[in-house]
Amino acid sequence: MTAKKTPSSKTTAKQAKPATAGGPSHLPVEMLSKAAAKVELKRLAAEIGRHDALYYQNDAPEIADAEYDALRRRNEALEARFPDLKLAESPADRVGAAPVAAFGKVTHRVPMLSLGNAFSDEDVTDFVARVRRFLGLGADDDLAFTAEPKIDGLSIALRYENGWFIEAATRGDGAEGENVTRNVATIKSIPHQLKGNDVPPVMEVRGEIYYRHADFAKLNETQAAAGAKVFANPRNAAAGSLRQLDASITASRPLQFFAYTWGEVSKLPADTQAGIVAAFSRWGLPVNPLMETVTSAEAMIAYYHGIGEKRSNLGYDIDGVVYKVNRLDLQDRLGFVSRSPRWATAHKFAAEQATTVLRGIEIQVGRTGSLTPVARLEPVNVGGVVVTNATLHNEDEIRRKDLRIGDFVIVQRAGDVIPQVVGPVLDKRPKQATAYEFPKLCPICGSHAVREADSDEVSGGVVRRCTGGLICPAQAKERLKHFVSRLAFDIEGLGEEKIEQFYADKRIQTPADIFTLQARNGVDFPRLEEQKGYGRKSIEKLFAAIDARRTIGLQRFLFALGIRHVGEGTSKDLAKHYLTWDAFHAAVMAAVSAGTKDSDAYRDIDDIDGIGETVVDALVEFFKEPHNTEIVRELLSHVSVTAFERVATTSSPVTGKTVVFTGTLEKFSRNEAKATAERLGAKVSGSVSGKTDYLVAGADAGSKLTKARDAGVTVLTEDEWLALIGQR
Ligand code: IVH
């Protein structure tokens, strides 16, 4: 996958702004002194960072593409002349550039440590007594602590220099983390510049990145609709969203942040924990509103129980509370034991578990035919929520946990989300408990269900999948729900519930039926208006909403087909590339009839930016199946698909040409080359074929060069390419 967005590929800058103090200086790079270059590189890093933020976070670029590109080119030229001045966080390696192959490493200047734990009220009393003893405090001496929720997310270190965000690193092993600057730069609640005049020149803010429950639910809904990986809990969703090599994916995920501690700082803004958090807040960083200052073990315990009661209404996961000695001079004196501070502890919540009986296991069949086992439980209260079902993931999990119907099982609400079955209580196992045989046939349509490695699961998951395709009512119904979903046809008044009803009474069996619903109303079926629960007005509205969708954009149409691995992003990539349904369909049918992966037709699709073999295979699979082509054909007799509207590119000598870059490029990075070519209207391909117009060859070009020469493709050096596009 590659980034689809770079600031330079967006052509909608609101207005061009005159060059500012942060813009390129007018002295040619060759004439700059080293000292001047150093100053300018710093300024450029901040300026480019600011424009990246305006672009990525606010969708409000202030300068035109050309000016943005000029800033980057100036930065690169300066770095090329003074390589030893290149900043650790040079914009050349940062936001806006295409994705990196892997995250770089960051050594934490102050190690990122963990916290000791308290599990009971008594542990808290002991903690306070230990601190007092260590400091030699008498019974009457005051000692204040901050108390705050322990956020169940990912810890992150954000480095600000002169108020500007310049680097973000994960915790890693505490000594060294991963450089996730590009990704963090896309998080809206993390300011790119701290406000106020008391921000220290070096300020490393630390805190937690997390996902809100509501956003998590939405994310999983979208993921499921796209047939993509569904996250087990908000923490995993946060981790998965942050650690994306393609930062534009992170940008599309609403990650949140709370600042609660710090690393390297040139001068602290206060002398208490609470004072520093207050400064964070003044500077524009989000801080947790529930932090309090407390002065006794009793107050800490009361705080803990109070937060426990609020826990399920917070809207995000917490796994306990954290107490910290408030005065920083006392924190310094207390210091650390091994890898945890002596001045803080985490008071953890007990996992919310309960025991109940496993009444049965039911199989749900998803849109792509996956068979998911669901535990039916004797209703049980788990931490205030009545649980009747729990996920069992897949057949291997049932076997691994040795779950039998009739077993007493421990149920847990993991991170307040989907309940899980932890395992059976073996010494309570009833004699009549029976092992569960996972079906080999689809319980809905009776087709064979085959075991497959689940490519969406990182952990080498397996899934059993119904092979019935659209013959399977479960799959057909789930596909219809997908068809009308928000990112697909988005038909107002035709949601999941209506689909269930219309499917059950046979009014709608295929997508095309939606578009003949009105014509068949009162003809093949009793008039809907006369059915209970339907009003004449709402029926009219529904028909109008359906009519409004008789014309639909290519991207939505492709997404609506519900082809495996063709989610929202992939639909867009395909639409952007082919522009029209006819072009797309011809290309895919060519790959279907070619039948092999090394055919040009197959590779032409594979070469599209953002598209890989998994997608091409899925497209071929889908269009090979006569059921599917029939459904699409029928649908197209009711719906017209409009062309994808590409943002207009100016015409250039390479507009419409296909270019391949190969070898070691010295004048520009491959990503830059690609972005530039695409901006000029060229198609960039990964392999040489009969359609290639130009091969741009850097040093040590290998087989592609030979192939291009053999095929009579025009071969250009980097300079010749630059001359062709008018950049030299
Ligand atoms: S303070 C020296 N405060 O808990 C350690 N940590 O077990 C300073 N965490 O890695 C950490 N909420 O990711 C602190 N309010 C909070 C926290 C918090 C969550 C996490 C953090 C840390 C882990 C320690």
Least confident of 102-111, 135-144, 464-473, 648-657: 648-657
What's the burial of 532, exposed, middle or buried (CB within 10 Å: 0-12/13-18/19+)? Answer: exposed
Q: 203 and 266 in contact (C-beta within 8 Å)?
A: yes
Instruction: Find, among 312, 317, 308, the residue nearest to 347 by Cα.
Output: 308
Q: 294 and 322 in contact (C-beta within 8 Å)?
A: no
The helix/strand count (H/E) of the chain reads as 24, 28
Overall average pLDDT of the 655-676 stretch: 82
- Ligand 1 atom closest to the Cα of residue 291 is 15
645 φ, ψ to 5°? -95, 105
372 φ, ψ to 5°? -110, 120
DSSP run (H or E) holding 660: strand 658-662
Least confident of 166-175, 202-211, 354-363, 660-669: 660-669
- For residue 490, the Cα-to-chain-centroid distance in whole angstroms is 23
Can you give the pLDDT at residue 22? 39
Cβ atoms within 10 Å of 68's Cβ, excluding its own:
24
Residue ID of nearest Cα to ligand 1 atom 16: 150
| Alpha carbons 1 and 699: distance in angstroms, whole number | 25
Most confident option among 338-342, 510-514, 708-712 = 510-514
**Residue 187 C-alpha to ligand 1 middle, in angstroms?**
20
Residue ID of nearest Cα to ligand 1 atom 1: 261
Question: Known catalytic residues?
Answer: 150
Q: Which of 108, 110, 114, 115 to mutate to test the pocket of ligand 1 (most atoms within 8 A of CB)?
A: 115
**Residue 229 C-alpha to ligand 1 middle, in angstroms?**
28
Domains and CATH numbers, the chain: 8-92 (1.10.287.610), 116-348 (3.30.470.30), 353-465 (2.40.50.140), 472-549 (1.10.150.20), 553-642 (1.10.150.20), 658-724 (3.40.50.10190)
**Residue 110 C-alpha to ligand 1 middle, in angstroms?**
15
Instruction: Find, among 407, 320, 310, the residue nearest to 358 by Cα.
Output: 407
Instruction: Find, among 454, 444, 449, the residue nearest to 464 by Cα.
Output: 449
Residue with tokens 């006392």: 330
Can you give the pLDDT at residue 94? 58
Can you give the pLDDT at residue 246? 85
- Ligand 1 atom closest to the Cα of residue 114 is 24
Residues 6+ apart with CB under 8 A from 138: none
DSSP run (H or E) holding 69: helix 65-81
**Residue 301 C-alpha to ligand 1 middle, in angstroms?**
18
Q: Find the DSSP H helices in 361-495.
A: 395-400, 473-483
- Ligand 1 atom closest to the Cα of residue 155 is 13
Q: What is the dihedral of CA 56, 58, 59, 60, to 10 degrees?
A: -120
Read off the pLDDT band of 201 (50, 70, 90).
very high
What is the average pLDDT value for the chain, to the nearest integer? 86
Which is it for strands 344-348 and 318-325: parallel, antiparallel or unpaired? antiparallel
Give residue-wise pLDDT tens across range 393-421: 888 999 999 999 999 999 987 544 578 89
Overall average pLDDT of the 458-473 stretch: 77
Within 266-393, strands assigned E span 292-294, 318-325, 336-337, 340-341, 344-348, 353-365, 370-382, 385-391
Q: Cα separations (Å) of 518 from 466, 540, 544, 602?
A: 33, 9, 10, 40
Question: Which residues share a beta bridge with 321?
Answer: 149, 347
**Residue 244 C-alpha to ligand 1 middle, in angstroms?**
23
Residue 65 has pLDDT above 80, yes or no: no
Residues with CB under 6 A from ligand 1: 113-115, 148, 150-151, 155, 171, 208, 260-261, 322, 341, 346
Angle between helix 511-520 and 473-483 (nearest 10) = 80
Can you give the pLDDT at residue 107? 92
Angle between helix 613-624 and 626-636 (nearest 10) = 80
Can you give the pLDDT at residue 383? 63
Give residue-wise pLDDT tens across range 3-20: 333 333 322 233 333 333
**Residue 259 C-alpha to ligand 1 middle, in angstroms?**
10
Give residue-wise pLDDT tens across range 94-139: 544 333 457 888 999 999 988 998 989 999 999 999 999 999 998 8
Residue ID of nearest Cα to ligand 1 atom 21: 155
Overall average pLDDT of the 342-348 stretch: 94
Q: Cα separations (Å) of 451 from 210, 395, 448, 461, 672?
A: 35, 10, 10, 10, 43
**Residue 707 C-alpha to ligand 1 middle, in angstroms?**
56
Residue ID of nearest Cα to ligand 1 atom 2: 113
Residue 714 has pLDDT above 70, yes or no: yes
Instruction: Find, among 381, 383, 374, 380, the residue nearest to 403 by Cα.
Output: 374
Q: 489 and 549 in contact (C-beta within 8 Å)?
A: yes
Residue 56 has pLDDT above 90, yes or no: no
Instruction: Find, among 186, 188, 189, 190, the residue nearest to 246 by Cα.
Output: 186
**DSSP state at residue 31:** G
- Ligand 1 atom closest to the Cα of residue 154 is 13
Read off the pLDDT band of 647 (50, 70, 90).
low
Q: Which of 108, 155, 173 to mutate to test the pocket of ligand 1 (most atoms within 8 A of CB)?
A: 155
Overall average pLDDT of the 61-90 stretch: 79
Give residue-wise pLDDT tens across range 520-568: 998 888 898 888 878 888 899 999 999 999 999 999 999 999 998 898 8
423 φ, ψ to 5°? 165, 175
Residues 6+ apart with CB under 8 A from 662: 695, 696, 697, 698, 701, 702, 704, 705
Checking 481-486 for CB contacts under 8 A at 24+ apart, the result is 481/367, 482/225, 482/367, 482/560, 482/562, 483/511, 483/514, 483/560, 483/562, 484/514, 485/225
- Ligand 1 atom closest to the Cα of residue 288 is 15
- Ligand 1 atom closest to the Cα of residue 340 is 2
**Residue 597 C-alpha to ligand 1 middle, in angstroms?**
50
Q: Which of 114, 311, 342 to mutate to test the pocket of ligand 1 (most atoms within 8 A of CB)?
A: 114
- Ligand 1 atom closest to the Cα of residue 152 is 19
Q: Which of 150, 154, 343 to mutate to test the pocket of ligand 1 (most atoms within 8 A of CB)?
A: 150
| Alpha carbons 228 and 31: distance in angstroms, whole number | 53
Enter the pTM of the model. Answer: 0.47
Q: Which of 152, 156, 208, 331 to mutate to test the pocket of ligand 1 (most atoms within 8 A of CB)?
A: 208
Residue 646 has pLDDT above 80, yes or no: no
Percentage of the chain beyond pLDDT 90 is: 55
**Residue 434 C-alpha to ligand 1 middle, in angstroms?**
44
Question: Which residues share a beta bridge with 686?
Answer: none
- For residue 452, the Cα-to-chain-centroid distance in whole angstroms is 25
Using DSSP's 3-state secondary structure scheme, residue 505 falls into: coil
Residue ID of nearest Cα to ligand 1 atom 24: 114
Give residue-wise pLDDT tens across range 599-618: 999 999 998 888 889 999 99
